[in-house]
Amino acid sequence: GRYAPSPSGDLHLGNLRTAVLAQAWARATGRGFVLRIDDIDAQRSSALSADRQLEDLEAVGVTWDGVVARQSETVDRYAVALERLADEGLVYECYCSRRDIRDAARAPQAPHAVPGTYPGTCRNLSADQRERKREELAAEGRVPALRLRAGVTQWTVRERFSDRATDGRFTGPVDDMVLRRGGRGAGQDGDSGYAYNLAVVVDDTLAGVDQVVRGDDLLDSAPRQAYLAHLLDLPEVEYVHVPLVLGPTGQRLAKRDGAVTLRQLPGASYREKAAAARAWIGSSIGPDALADPALLSHSPVTWEGPSDS
């Protein structure tokens, strides 16, 4: 098992709860548990955030095996994976901006693609068309993205918990996902440009991870990642998507909800704040589910804010 936060700020209580559950699932199923800092996006990541996240995770009782891994230290492996896919003819350049993709999806003549998937605008361009597009981007100081030429439109993964799974399987859409980002500044200033979907499947294999526990808002990304792993001949992982923590408005917990991180909780010291966080996480999961996470409720949990007591 593993937990892999992105170091772009403090973890909120929902993040910490998911980390506790990831550890519980790993231990209950006889697996090791590793921690990775997903700092592939250099522009949004900071060493300070990573250090604070590690401190908060330890404070709520999360422990891990071995040293903490960091995506920024394995960039060369992403290059190898991308080169392999390219050698097999499974990579093409994409010249679309986000607006281009939105407009294409809304067009009356657009194929009936699943909302949120790439419509394939640049997939079958001729060599001359690609050259013109490349020159247009260069004139704007932009570089093309690299996309996967997917051979399927859906993929099935092993899903151990979600209500959306049937008989332990979940099938979801697969599209021509981005493998390396384009645009301005891609590949510069310490930003490798490699996309999360590529990085995560490579890193999970590198760490020997065969179980991924995370929030159920990420369930739809599992088929994409599993399909990419399949193309790279990497082992299939088991997914466990657990309910989110919601804010008082019923939306996913976020900074807009006020005091949502361990350090924002009432308390005269960090130790008191950590104790409050541990208590809330434990009560939200329940003692039985902490011992056997398969007993976890499938309903989301609501954070109403810190107690006045």
Domains along the chain?
A: 1-72+243-309 (3.40.50.620), 74-205+216-234 (3.40.50.620)
- Res 254: pLDDT: 87
Q: Quick: pLDDT tens for 62-86.
A: 999 999 999 999 999 999 999 999 9
Q: Does residue 112 have a pLDDT over 50?
A: no
- Res 111: pLDDT: 47
Name the nearest CA neighbour of 165 among 113, 241, 112. 241
The size of the chain, in residues, is: 309
- Res 191: pLDDT: 65
CA distances from 207 to 36, 80, 116 (A): 9, 17, 30
From CA 15, how far away is CA 208, in angstroms rounded?
23
Residue 245 CB-half CA count within 13 A: 24
How confident is residue 43, by pLDDT bands cut at 50, 70 and 90? Answer: confident
- What are 191's two structure tokens? 């930003």
Q: Quick: pLDDT tens for 165-206.
A: 999 999 999 999 999 999 876 555 556 799 999 999 999 999
Residue 142's identity, in one-letter code, is: R
Region 282-287 average pLDDT: 97
Q: Quick: pLDDT tens for 232-254.
A: 999 999 999 999 999 998 999 98
- Res 171: pLDDT: 98
From CA 285, how far away is CA 17, in angstroms rounded?
8
More confident residue, 135 or 98: 135
- Res 196: pLDDT: 93
From CA 196, how far away is CA 225, in angstroms rounded?
9
From CA 174, how far away is CA 189, in angstroms rounded?
31
Name the nearest CA neighbour of 224 among 172, 151, 162. 172
From CA 29, how far away is CA 46, in angstroms rounded?
33
Q: Quick: pLDDT tens for 82-105.
A: 999 999 999 999 999 888 877 766
How confident is residue 259, by pLDDT bands cut at 50, 70 and 90? Answer: confident
From CA 274, how far away is CA 265, in angstroms rounded?
8
Q: Does residue 117 have a pLDDT over 90?
A: no
- Res 101: pLDDT: 78
Paired strand residues for 171 = 156
Strands 238-242 and 211-215, by their bridges, are parallel
Q: Does residue 265 have a pLDDT over 50?
A: yes
More confident residue, 108 or 204: 204
Which residue do the tokens 């350090």 mark?
263
Q: Does residue 116 have a pLDDT over 80?
A: no
Q: How far apart are the first and last CA of the chain?
A: 36
Q: Does residue 256 have a pLDDT over 90?
A: no
- What lies within 8 Å, CB to CB, of 291 at 6+ separation is 24, 28
Model-level pTM?
A: 0.91
